[in-house]
Amino acid sequence: TGCRTSARDFVRDAPGSGKTVALTFDDGPAESDPELLKILAANHVKATFFFTGANAKARPGIVKAVAAAGHQIAGHSWSHRYPRDTPWTVDYLTGQWLRTRDVLVAESGQRVCFVRPPGGYKTNVLASTRPLGLTAAMWSLDTLDWQQPGTTTKAATAAIVKRATDVEGDRHPIVLLHSGRA
């Protein structure tokens, strides 16, 4: 299917009517994604995976598996660098989006309609996505799972689940989770 016209502003709400939620996973493809796909399938849940181009190039089989499972594939830049590390000019970001999109399309067979800027930084993001027909998506609920130490504990997992489900009246939350580390 084709992409809708790119949004004029950052998308911050899950689509649909009634109560909806969008689960999103950043920084993959990651080694944990095959297990995550099993959990999502067992619960009949679809998600959006915001992949970095470098990780997608390194793990093309996971990109294919995520797409084959019916999840949406989206871009999360090529290198996941922040504006403090590299000036986010329109040209720089355009290159990041295009390079990532090309790998994701080639590996998934899907059109890439959405991107998410690393760290939620906004500098020049809309100026670089609009001409490409891409929509920049943010989140409305940060689970802070990216603060998780290298090992998983029951307490840390419980805290992530609590944050992910504490929508505080938000009828259309976009939940930020990570399947890997960029």
Residues taking part in catalysis = 26, 178
Q: Rounded CA gap, 22 and 45, in Å?
A: 10
3-state secondary structure of 155: helix
Q: Rounded CA gap, 40 and 23, in Å?
A: 10
Q: Which residues pair with 174 in a beta bridge?
A: 22
Please answer whether residues 158 and 6 qualify as being in contact, where contact means their C-beta atoms are separated by less than 8 angstroms.
Answer: no
Please answer whether residues 146 and 178 qualify as being in contact, where contact means their C-beta atoms are separated by less than 8 angstroms.
Answer: yes
Q: Cβ neighbours of residue 128 under 8 Å, at least 6 residues apart?
A: 90, 93, 94, 97
Please answer whether residues 85 and 104 qualify as being in contact, where contact means their C-beta atoms are separated by less than 8 angstroms.
Answer: no
